[in-house]
Amino acid sequence: MMARKKKNKKSVHKKRPALRKKSKPLRKKPGHKKPAHKKPAHKKIVRKKSSPKKIRRGGAPQSVVLPVRQLSQPAKNISSYDVVLHNFDIAAAKLQLSEELKQLIKTPDRELRVELPIIMDDGKLNTFIGYRVQHNNARGPNKGGIRYHADVDLDEVRALASLMTWKTAIVDIPFGGAKGGITVDPKQLSLGELERLTRVFTQKIDCVIGPSEDIPAPDVNTNAQVMSWMMDQYSRRHGHTPAVVTGKPLELGGSAGREEATGRGVCIALREASKSFKLDLRKAAVAIQGFGNVGSHTARILEEEFGVKVVGVSDVKGGVYNPRGIRCKDAMEHVLETGSVVGLKGAAKITNAELLELKCDVLIPAAMGGQLHARNADRVKAKLIVEAANGPTTYEADEIFAAKKIPVIPDIYANAGGVTVSYFEWAQNLQQFRWDYQRVVAELEKIMTTSYAEVMKSTEKYNVSIRIGAFILAVDRVAKATKLRGI
């Protein structure tokens, strides 16, 4: 591992001074405040040292209620990175990792911030900021999506990169974890501006990506077209290299089944969880927040293949509700025509807040992080939560759900179907060979069901919440790989 890191530093730092060394992390020091133009600074979390109090869920594995704060206290501003570190710390403590090893695998391996100047359609110069964070590559090349969103900042990208490390470890595919993003609202850009921005970003992160270094993929507001531009830009310098990104269109070496893969994985996760928690899916009502790639495919597959009634869906503009069930294909067509689920015929308009609090059996957050928090978790009525989005639940909300005996199937397992089929795509590209759709679905099914059993085994063994059980499984695998390679 040492030799690998040295090689990276040499080849990259010589040419790219913008790249930060691990010894000078960009992470905020205690007391650090974000610049005024950014979102409000996140308060530092004070964790009590007393041992966690356990409560028992009926028939289900025990969950842990962490004494982070009294639930009656006002909610803090908790960043997504705080949440990931919090869960990591609990898992590392359960595994009794040494302090040195814990520090090594807790924080990102490399963080790159890049300026992205582009000429806008009106001839003016505009400079955007982009990031690529590589969290850990002990188990294989870094892997993770690219997000285009106005709220993207280094803290969020770090959190998402870290989640990728644990996710790839849980489904046991040979990758580490990374994430990237650009602080931009892509809806304000023309197609040409979006392409120029993507190409400049690819050029600027070219020094740290590659089929055996780091393989980006789509995330919020990026898609197969963005991946095509990235693949093309990288290939101009390195020769035709489809394996540098996944989530490409089929015409450029994409995999059958990749677009729906995250949604299909969420459906498998829900099906497996429904067995553990004795929920009859054929009688269940499901609400889904977010109707983009993940949310819409989850809804469609649940309705068409699993016979599940989807009663509510939403997107950034609002939501719709029909207690008799929404026809997901109609909703998808409505989104194509109008850009939103709002206004769908035969369904009542609701807000996003109302969607999260709907009377339903299963809630699937499939939009942005931090949607379930101390201020709304108490009003959630679902009997089961399956996290399709990354980081939708703060640890304060986790405490509340544990107290209400609502099991949460965590993101690092539940939405791993996307990166799993990305792994299939990467493997197909390297072998210059194609799998058919049936094979992709069958292999995904195998990995998601095996991983569910392993997550639940870890949960039961350590007598913890499912999220912490999943973290323990993942941190243990990464720690073992790190030790075997040599620190």
Nearest to 415 by CA among 296, 272, 261: 261
Q: How far is CA 156 from the centre of its chain?
A: 11
According to CB under 6 A, which one of 63, 289, 298, 393 is a site residue for ligand NAD?
289
Nearest to 312 by CA among 338, 342, 282: 342
According to CB under 6 A, which one of 19, 328, 344, 366 is a site residue for ligand NAD?
366
According to CB under 6 A, which one of 138, 256, 360, 368 is a site residue for ligand NAD?
368
Q: Give the integer Cα–Cα distance in Å for 112 and 127.
A: 16
- Encoded one letter per residue, x for contact with ligand NAD by CB under 6 A and - for no contact, window 215-254 reads ---xxxx---------------------------------
Burial of 25 (0-12, 13-18, 19+ CB in 10 A): middle
Strands (E) located in 139-293: 142-149, 177-183, 214-218, 285-289
Is residue 179 part of the annotated active site? The answer reads yes
**Nearest distance in Å: CB 382, ligand NAD:** 16
Residue 411, H or E segment: helix 411-414
Please say whether the beta carbons of 148 and 186 come within 8 A: yes
Nearest to 178 by CA among 191, 168, 190: 168
Q: Give the integer Cα–Cα distance in Å for 362 and 411.
A: 15
- Sheet with 214-218, strands from edge to edge, namely 110-119, 125-136, 177-183, 142-149, 214-218
**Nearest distance in Å: CB 261, ligand NAD:** 7
For residues 60 and 159, which CB has a smaller minimum distance to ligand NAD in the complex? 159
According to CB under 6 A, which one of 66, 380, 389, 402 is a site residue for ligand NAD?
389
Candidate ranges 65-73, 116-124, 311-319, 432-440; the one touching ligand NAD (CB under 6 A)? 311-319
> By CB under 6 A, how many residues form the interface with ligand NAD?
24
According to CB under 6 A, which one of 85, 286, 294, 377 is a site residue for ligand NAD?
294
How does DSSP classify residue 258?
Answer: S
Residue labelled with tokens 């089944």: 257
Candidate ranges 43-51, 120-128, 313-321, 471-479; the one touching ligand NAD (CB under 6 A)? 313-321
For residues 140 and 218, which CB has a smaller minimum distance to ligand NAD in the complex? 218
**Nearest distance in Å: CB 333, ligand NAD:** 15
Candidate ranges 30-38, 119-127, 129-137, 213-221; the one touching ligand NAD (CB under 6 A)? 213-221
Candidate ranges 47-55, 376-384, 385-393, 427-435; the one touching ligand NAD (CB under 6 A)? 385-393
Does the footprint of ligand NAD cover residue 292 (CB under 6 A)?
yes
**Nearest distance in Å: CB 293, ligand NAD:** 4
Q: Give the integer Cα–Cα distance in Å for 465 and 91.
A: 11
Q: Where in 412-471 is the site for ligand NAD (CB under 6 A)?
A: 415, 418
Burial of 427 (0-12, 13-18, 19+ CB in 10 A): middle
For residues 109 and 315, which CB has a smaller minimum distance to ligand NAD in the complex? 315
Please say whether the beta carbons of 209 and 241 come within 8 A: no
Q: Give the integer Cα–Cα distance in Å for 382 and 487.
A: 45
Six token digits for residue 149 = 């969103």
According to CB under 6 A, which one of 262, 394, 428, 458 is a site residue for ligand NAD?
262
For residues 17 and 40, which CB has a smaller minimum distance to ligand NAD in the complex? 40
In the bound complex, which residue of the shown chain has the CB atom lying closest to ligand NAD? 292
Q: Characterize the bridge pairing of strands 110-119 and 125-136.
A: antiparallel
How does DSSP classify residue 139?
Answer: S
Buried b (16+ CB within 10 A) or exposed e, 410-422: bbbbbbbbbbbbb
Please pick, among 179, 204, 248, 309, the residue that the annotation labels catalytic: 179
Does the footprint of ligand NAD cover residue 285 (CB under 6 A)?
no
Does the footprint of ligand NAD cover residue 316 (CB under 6 A)?
yes
For residues 80 and 458, which CB has a smaller minimum distance to ligand NAD in the complex? 80
According to CB under 6 A, which one of 352, 376, 449, 463 is a site residue for ligand NAD?
352
Q: Give the integer Cα–Cα distance in Å for 36 and 40.
A: 8
**Nearest distance in Å: CB 418, ligand NAD:** 3
Return the bridge partners of 133, or none. Answer: 111, 179
**Nearest distance in Å: CB 255, ligand NAD:** 12
For residues 77 and 463, which CB has a smaller minimum distance to ligand NAD in the complex? 77
Could you list the active site residues? 179
Contact positions toward ligand NAD, by CB under 6 A? 218-221, 262, 289-295, 314-316, 352, 366-368, 388-390, 415, 418
